[in-house]
Amino acid sequence: MSLKSSSLLIVDDDRLTTSLLEFVFSRQQMTVTALHDGQSASGYIESHDPVDVVLMEVLLPQVNGFELLEDMRRHPTWKDTKVVMLSAKESLADIQRAFALGADDYLVKPIDPQEVLARVGRFFMRRP
């Protein structure tokens, strides 16, 4: 499995960050879906097949990132999806909470697009 032709869901209310990430991952020929609030993401999870990776902001309107992550980990088909949390919140407590809820990675904003790409790419690497 490679980045190419895999699918990514971005959930972030900051449209600038979303546009940046869409550009970065579309260039890798990934199928990218962008949503801007927790409720839409919740609905998406219920009505769609799981994607390969979710990039999700912690602070989201309506349903926050931690709640979404909890929902995802309880969901029968989405529970194994790789989730990278993105946030300007950089306290140890937030990072611990994200990992305790089942996040696979945590990135602090502002973002370095190359770093985000590398972190997501890691999920598709074959170990030697």
Partner 1 sequence: MWPSLADPYWTASFWVGGITLGLTGVLLVVLFVLKLTAQSRLRQDHRFDRTWQPVLIRAALDEDGVPALPTLRRGDDWRLIKLWVRFQSSLKGSARERLRDLGLQLQCQHRARPLLNSPHRSEQIFGILCLGYLRDESAWPLLVSRLDDVRNSVFIYVAWALLQLSPERASPIVVDQLLRRRDLNVLQASTVLRPFRRVLHEPLLLQLSLHLSLHVARASTNEAPGEPSGTDPAALAWLFRLGLALGLTPTVDTLRPWLQADQPMDLIIGAMRLLQGPEGLEPVRALANHPDWQVRTQVAVALGRLGDSNDVDLLMQLLMDSQWWVRYRAAQSLATTPFVDRAAMQARVSSLPDRYARDMAHQVFLEIPAPSW
Q: What does the alpha-carbon distance between residue 82 and residue 65 come to, in Å, rounded to a whole number? A: 14
Closest contact distance (angstroms) between CB of 109 and partner 1 is 7
Residue 53 in 3-state DSSP? strand
Tell me the torsion sign for CA atoms 8, 13, 17, 19.
Answer: positive
24 binds partner 1 (CB under 8 A): yes
Contact 29, 4 (CB under 8 A): yes
Q: Which one of residues 14, 67, 70, 104 is an interface residue with partner 1 (CB under 8 A)? A: 14
Q: Which two tokens stand for residue 58?
A: 């912690």
Stretch that binds partner 1, among 10-18, 41-49, 61-69, 71-79 (CB under 8 A): 10-18
29 touching partner 1, by CB under 8 A: no
The verdict on 46 binding partner 1 (CB under 8 A) reads no
Closer CB to partner 1, residue 80 or residue 115?
A: 115
Per-residue x/- mask for partner 1, residues 101 to 120, rule CB under 8 A?
Answer: --------xxxxxxx-----
Q: Which residues here bind partner 1, judged by CB under 8 A?
A: 14, 16-17, 19-20, 23-24, 27, 109-115
